[in-house]
């Protein structure tokens, strides 16, 4: 399966203890981020959709783009910084969304609101979560 590691360093975000009780780690802005900005990558192992949909592969860190044959699994803590973004379970707190690059196929977090320095990054995991 294709795989790559994302550098754990970023001028934009950092990983710290989440403000959500019992959530573990979270992703925080190291600087102000504007609406529409690329925040960080969401990348890891690329798994064929059929393997996941037929029950042969499971992970809590899967990101699916309906336009591609692969699902991104960022279960490895070294895979990317985007894996640390939590779902606040409140659409009003969400400040980014998942988006995709085609070449090479990868995911990323994109700001949907202005995010202040020090603010936690929240993304919706979807209606099934």
Task: Say yes or no to pLDDT of 6 above 70.
Answer: no
Query: What pLDDT, in 10s, does the model give residues 63-121?
Result: 999 999 999 999 999 899 999 999 988 888 999 999 999 888 899 999 999 999 999 99
**pTM of the model as a whole:** 0.89
Query: What pLDDT, in 10s, does the model give residues 29-68?
Result: 999 999 999 999 999 999 999 999 999 999 999 999 999 9
Instruction: Strand 45-48: give its sheet, edge to edge.
Output: 45-48, 70-73, 62-64
**Three-class HEC string of 68-94:** CCEEEECCCCCCCCHHHCECCCCCCCC
- Report the distance separating Cα 89 and Cα 122, nearest Å: 9
Task: Say yes or no to pLDDT of 1 above 70.
Answer: no
**Three-class HEC string of 4-63:** CCCCCCCCCEEEEECCCCCCCEEEEECCCECCCCEEEEECCEEEEHHHHHCCCCCCCCEE
- Report the distance separating Cα 110 and Cα 97, nearest Å: 5
């Amino acid at each position: 399966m294709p795989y790559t590691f994302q550098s754990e360093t970023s001028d934009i975000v950092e990983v710290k203890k989440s403000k959500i009780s019992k959530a573990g780690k979270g992703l925080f802005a190291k600087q102000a981020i504007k609406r529409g900005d690329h925040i960080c990558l969401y990348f890891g192992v690329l798994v064929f959709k059929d393997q996941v949909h037929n029950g042969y592969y499971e992970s809590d860190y899967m990101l699916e783009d309906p336009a591609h044959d692969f699902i991104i699994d960022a279960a490895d803590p070294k895979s990317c910084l985007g894996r640390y973004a939590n779902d606040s379970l409140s659409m009003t707190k969400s400040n980014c969304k998942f988006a995709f690059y085609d070449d090479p196929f990868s995911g990323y977090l994109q700001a949907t609101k202005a995010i202040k320095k020090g603010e936690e990054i929240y993304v919706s995991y979807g209606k099934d979560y």
